[in-house]
Amino acid sequence: MDLTDNTAEAGFREVVKGFIAEHGDKGRMGGGRGSGEESGWSSDARERMKGWREALVDRGWIAPAWPKEFGGAGLSVKEQFIFNEELAEAGLMNVGGFGVMMLGPTLMVHGTDEQKAEILPKILAGEVVWCQGWSEPGAGSDLASLQTRAARDGDEYVLNGQKIWTTGAQHATRMYMLARTDPDAPKHRGISMLMLNMDDPGVSVRPLTTMANQQTFNEVFFEDVRVPVKNRIGEENRGWYAGMTLTDFERSGIGNSVGTQRALRGTLAYAKKAPAQETVLATSGTWKLDFVDRWIEADIARLFSHLNNSIQDKGMVPNHEASMSKLFTTELNQKIAKTTLKLFGLYGLLWDRKRDEAMKGRAATGYLSSVSSTLAGGTSEIQRNIIATRGLSLPRG
């Protein structure tokens, strides 16, 4: 695993830094974590990010991983890593969203020529905002148990069922999703991947309020929604394999690991200038020890990201290594949130963003928001199973 840049890579890093210095202020949302999904932003946030998107489009970096033949930047694996690392260090994000990160690359593999010609340019231009219809009330970690039904009716599917935990569905214009097209087939073999419009008749969205009082997730209901067969991605009843291709593109690491370090630096800077009565620094020596532990762990999380990048740079796909990184980093996010809350004592319970204490309530909301980090994208239990079976070759229980 090489942690250094060669001459060409160092030169590219300077180019990225120069671009950020010139355009970065357009894309800062206030303490960014280095990753994000634009379909989950408010209307005001999306409006403020237009300038940043336009700058990325003009530079050809809105889709850094896409091949040039599809309108992307065609960056190498290491260049993508450098690009994402520098954005994360600056508290910025690439605003392509689900479309750029996951659907676009999946269409390049499984889509028809017509789908590529119609959809890929719109993704690059930001004309559509996508959401992902994956989880259901009875199908989360065991996604292949999904029951949303798409019954074939000539040149259309009739869609009925429900999705849940759908990030940004209340703002999205389109959805890609998995539905069961053959209820009699083994569960992995009777699924198809479809695309639909969020304003199609029969589609309804109900925002969910989290314990942190945020509406990031949604329930989505389908009642006799008619989806053209031409909007299917890949073969009928083989959507599971297209979906797993997309899941590979979902895996990331450097933005999240850099984000943990940014969060720690922000907490430390606030602690140094906060009024003495607002923190426990004067009365507790254990917080400082906790902070040191978190900082060391954040360095380890960053090394996991470098490991995954090294594997990709050799033309391979990180498998159990990606699960190790995801497991470690998401559990670290919860530790950081707990350490931050501990810093402020009773002040950490304040939620009011209009008050100055406890980082304007971010200590409390960050603690509550971190609960879901070990659930989203595959639970910690699922990640441990992958590590055990694929990484350590242990038998399945």
Q: What 8-state DSSP symbol labels residue 310?
A: H
Q: Is 250 a catalytic residue?
A: yes
Cα separation, 146 vs 165, in Å, equals 14
**Tokens 């020890």 appear where?**
289
Alpha-carbon torsion, ordered 105, 108, 111, 117, to 10 deg:
110
8 Å CB contact between 168 and 220: no
Cα separation, 63 vs 280, in Å, equals 45
Alpha-carbon torsion, ordered 80, 310, 253, 287, to 10 deg:
-130
Cα separation, 215 vs 212, in Å, equals 9
Task: Kindly give the residue spans of alpha helices, DSSP state H, lying in 281-378.
Answer: 286-313, 320-344, 357-360, 362-369
Among 167, 204, 161, 208, smallest CA distance to 181 is for 161
Cα separation, 309 vs 315, in Å, equals 10
User: Of residues 250, 278, 321, 331, which has the active-site annotation?
Assistant: 250
Query: Which regions of the chain does DSSP assign to beta strands (E)?
Result: 130-133, 149-153, 156-163, 174-180, 191-197, 203-208, 217-228, 232-233
Q: Amino acid identity, residue 216?
A: T
Cα separation, 261 vs 307, in Å, equals 18
Cα separation, 392 vs 318, in Å, equals 14
DSSP 334-345: HHHHHHHHHHHG
Q: How many helices (DSSP H) and strands (DSSP E) are in the chain? A: 14, 8
Report, as residue numbers or ranges, the catalytic residues: 250
